[in-house]
Amino acid sequence: PQTIYLKDYTPFGYLIDSVHLTFKLHPTTTRVLSRIAFRPNPDATDKTFFLHGEQLTLISAKIDGAEITPEVTDEGLIANVPDAPFVWEAEVEISPSTNTALEGLYMSNGMYCTQCEAEGFRKITYYPDRPDVMATFDVRIEGDEKVLLSNGNPGASGDGFAEWSDPWKKPAYLFALVAGDLVNHPGQFTTKSGKDVELNIWVRPGDDGKCAFGMQALKDSMKWDEDVYGREYDLDIFNIVAVDDFNMGAMENKGLNIFNSSCVLASQATSTDADFERIEAIIAHEYFHNWTGNRITCRDWFQLCLKEGLTVFRDAQFTADMRSEPVKRIDDVIALRARQFPEDQGPLSHPVRPEEFQEINNFYTATVYEKGAEVIGMLKTLVGDEAYYQALDLYFERHDGDAATIEDWIKVFEDCTGRDLTQFKRWYSQSGTPKVSVREEWQAESGTFTLHFSQSTAPTPGQDVKDPRVIPIALGLLNPNGDETHPTRIFEMMEAEQSLTFTGLGARPIPSILRGFSAPVMLEQDIDNARRAFLLAHDTDEFNRWEAGRDLARDSLINMILKDAAPDPAYLDGLKRVVTDTSLDAAYRALMLAQPTETELAGALAALGETPDPDKIYAATKALSKAKAGILADDLHALYSDNQPQGPYTPDAEGSGKRALANMAMALLGRLGQLDPAKAQFATADNMTQQIAALATLVREGAGTEAVQDFYDQWKSDRLVIDKWFGLQAGMADPDQAAEVAKALTQHADFDMKNPNRFRATLGAFAGNHAGFHHATGAGYKLLADWLIKLDPVNPQTTARMCTAFQTWKRYDSQRQSLIRAELERILATEGLSRDTHEMVTRILG
């Protein structure tokens, strides 16, 4: 397979003035007619007229009305064209109903839909399918479906046809078409300049009762982007469509967002609080792309973080504003450590802006998205809020309509602040997670306290040498009474080693370092549990207070695993104090009660140079939760009943927080053998959050057989709930039986490998069952590999993403390593393996 390099970028030889497309829809023989006005690009030297095209049957091609015979390959075509403006016309045939890869035009439950990012448009027609070629699109759709949608504003429509016109120039990856017998949930929004916008969420009949929450989230997002970033919507209509078969979460096509139905449909009975929060965030994310991604797009796919990092950062700001800022930050850091840190510290490590790829779909990663967002958060911290929003205004003013680069992005900050950000740019080019170590020095005579920092980053694939980065370290000081004497300030670390001194102190202070997780680094502090317990009790920074508790839990678990130690009483006492402190909000207390996952512990052990033993990790995790239940035994009933939200169900921060805390208490009661609350809650819950939490408690305690069946009987006609049913069983199965349970689930009549949600719910959840997946027999590895081999010819994109389950393989013992290696080699040896999966497996093998 061919490798594409950032350094090789050259502009396309031609610019496009207009694109006209006509679709004559048919499941197996859709005809696509294109008429495109090209003219030579004065900024380009290479004038090869190459149009991408894959899996297309070319019916005819014309230049300025004259039939031509271009040179056609598997990847596209080349034609001789005039050195002057000309009109290209082509007719191609495609087969949406057999397109199981879900890229290009495909069918889902009888409905036509498209997915063009990153390189799907080339499966629709011949075109320069690259983000720096932007054009206005006029589209005519001919078909018998009731609803025919495309980007932009609606034009003429009638029996069997509809026309759409998008006045904004866009790259082909933002093209979308939907045709089906859909129903809409309508809405309306008036922009700050008084323009009325028609809103719709289009769904399959029967799903219309699940749209109200998404519609409200859309209106909230539109208002928020006006209030916070001054960005107004720019078309007469904004459509969202829910699709059941979708490779990722959602897609920001101009004026016609397409969503995985799991990321937009919500109801009290079928969605958990976490689903509601995720849906709100994804709707916001896709909407925010209208400016950060669509109006300003990426010059090439290496710049993906330009739109994704920024848009993730913006959606996180939105969620923090809509809900709780500290809780959102803690959730995001948990996710970053669970998904991005292992990626950055393993064979798939790559910079936020990668410099090479074979298959771009493999670079929609936690590094590009989540670390990309962290980089923007650091930039905001370094320049301050005011300069940040000034720079963003300049970015929109200067680059509206452009296909931009990270250099353009950095330049607006430099121009706004006068700062040289050359060193900061290393965050975009250097991969790996920096380690920041802190040593404290106290001189009692002079009352001087010094923090000595050092930073280093371990080598990553292709990058042996790392240079120091700019690291904003938020920190404050507490006195031994627990009062904050020095509020949060930002220490800008720029050297490999750097110190910060405080003078005139009456007593040795207790520092609180990396407040709010101000940089995506691993902090190494030589501090004892008494210090952590002190911070857990007194830190004014809610993130670091939580972090102190988390560190105590992790260290206790590590000692239990490595030294057969008992659970740490300092942790348990501190936890009891925080969890029973009713002045703290319920969501925060619920987060405190959660403990590190088994996968996180495996990573923590590996970081200490220890080989993680999945069975021991499983046992220690179980033992610690029993110990927590024990110490809280007298409080659990009150925690459970006091946190039942009163009144009608609302998926807001307060209601969700209370349910989260009550459900934790219910789970811990389960650990004490008290299952009545879970049984009663399962039987009477009027919402999915409480119903599925009760089911999980029963399953965890080995008492869930009947409830699992009842749940299935109740929800068998709801695809999204049945995904949860598959996931819960595969994810929670006893380690010794997990592979068998997961295998049986794949043989269930409702298992459908062509549906990415169902495949991920089953095999993704199984791969997340740490002790089950890593069972010493290797049965887990074999099961996943068998299914990846089966899925690859059907859906390469989803297969390749799921290979990441193997990315941490070198953490484990030699026996497990050789079992995994054998499975990876078996996948690689599969005849006709896709480019997507080939690249992933090759990189994972290293």
Among 108, 114, 247, 261, binds ligand HT7 (CB under 6 A): 247
Q: CB nearest ligand HT7: which residue?
A: 248
Which among Zn ion, ligand HT7, none contacts residue 300 (Cβ within 5 to 8 A by kind)? none
- Stretches 210-218, 243-251, 326-334, 799-807: which one binds ligand HT7 (CB under 6 A)? 243-251
Closer residue to Zn ion, CB minimum distance, 309 or 326: 309
- Stretches 284-292, 523-531, 606-614, 636-644: which one binds ligand HT7 (CB under 6 A)? 284-292
CB of 312 to Zn ion, least distance (A): 7
Closer residue to Zn ion, CB minimum distance, 311 or 643: 311
What is the distance between the alpha carbons of residues 762 and 384, in angstroms, rounded to a whole number? Answer: 44
Whether 374 is catalytic is no
- Stretches 121-129, 281-289, 702-710, 749-757: which one binds ligand HT7 (CB under 6 A)? 281-289
Q: Is residue 251 involved in binding ligand HT7 (CB under 6 A)? A: yes
Site for Zn ion, residues 297 to 326, rule: CB under 5 A? 308, 311
Q: Is the dihedral of CA 126, 131, 134, 139 positive or negative?
A: positive
What is the distance between the alpha carbons of residues 347 and 752, in angstroms, rounded to a whole number? Answer: 31
- Stretches 123-131, 248-256, 392-400, 758-766: which one binds ligand HT7 (CB under 6 A)? 248-256
What is the distance between the alpha carbons of residues 799 and 793, in angstroms, rounded to a whole number? Answer: 9
- Asked if the bond preceding 602 is cis, omega within 30° of 0, the reply is no
Q: Is residue 285 involved in binding ligand HT7 (CB under 6 A)? A: yes
CB of 114 to ligand HT7, least distance (A): 10
Closer residue to ligand HT7, CB minimum distance, 263 or 739: 263
Q: Is residue 37 involved in binding ligand HT7 (CB under 6 A)? A: no
Q: Is residue 21 involved in binding ligand HT7 (CB under 6 A)? A: no
> Which two three-digit tokens encode residue 484?
């904050």
CB of 117 to Zn ion, least distance (A): 9
Integer angstrom CA distances of residue 622 from 330, 598, 619: 23, 10, 5
Q: Is residue 252 involved in binding ligand HT7 (CB under 6 A)? A: yes
Which among ligand HT7, Zn ion, none contacts residue 113 (Cβ within 5 to 8 A by kind)? none
Among 308, 315, 539, 555, binds ligand HT7 (CB under 6 A): 308
Closer residue to ligand HT7, CB minimum distance, 109 or 165: 109
Closer residue to Zn ion, CB minimum distance, 308 or 331: 308
Q: Is residue 553 involved in binding ligand HT7 (CB under 6 A)? A: no
What is the distance between the alpha carbons of residues 238 and 186, in angstroms, rounded to a whole number? Answer: 10
Strand partners of residue 18 = 37
Integer angstrom CA distances of residue 648 from 644, 655, 662: 11, 10, 17
435-443, strands of its sheet edge to edge: 497-502, 448-456, 435-443, 522-525
What is the distance between the alpha carbons of residues 162 and 108, in angstroms, rounded to a whole number? Answer: 21
Among 101, 118, 570, 572, binds ligand HT7 (CB under 6 A): 118
Query: How many CA atoms does the CB half-sphere of 241 hold within 13 Å?
Result: 29
> Which two three-digit tokens encode residue 453?
């920092």
> Which two three-digit tokens encode residue 727?
């996931």
Site for ligand HT7, residues 353 to 372, rule: CB under 6 A? 364
The per-residue DSSP string of 17-53 comes to EEEEEEEE--SS-EEEEEEEEEEE-TT-S---EEEE-
Whether 313 and 377 have beta carbons less than 8 Å apart is answered as: yes
How many other CB atoms sit within 10 Å of the CB of residue 489?
Answer: 12
What is the distance between the alpha carbons of residues 773 and 733, in angstroms, rounded to a whole number? Answer: 10
3-class SS of residue 163: strand
Whether 143 and 311 have beta carbons less than 8 Å apart is answered as: no
CB of 257 to Zn ion, least distance (A): 11
CB of 250 to ligand HT7, least distance (A): 6
Q: Is residue 352 involved in binding ligand HT7 (CB under 6 A)? A: no
Among 108, 115, 340, 762, binds ligand HT7 (CB under 6 A): 115
Which among Zn ion, ligand HT7, none contacts residue 185 (Cβ within 5 to 8 A by kind)? none
**Catalytic residue annotation:** 286
The site for ligand HT7 (CB under 6 A) is made up of: 115, 117-118, 246-248, 250-252, 285-286, 289, 308, 364
The residue ranges that bind Zn ion (CB under 5 A) are: 308, 311
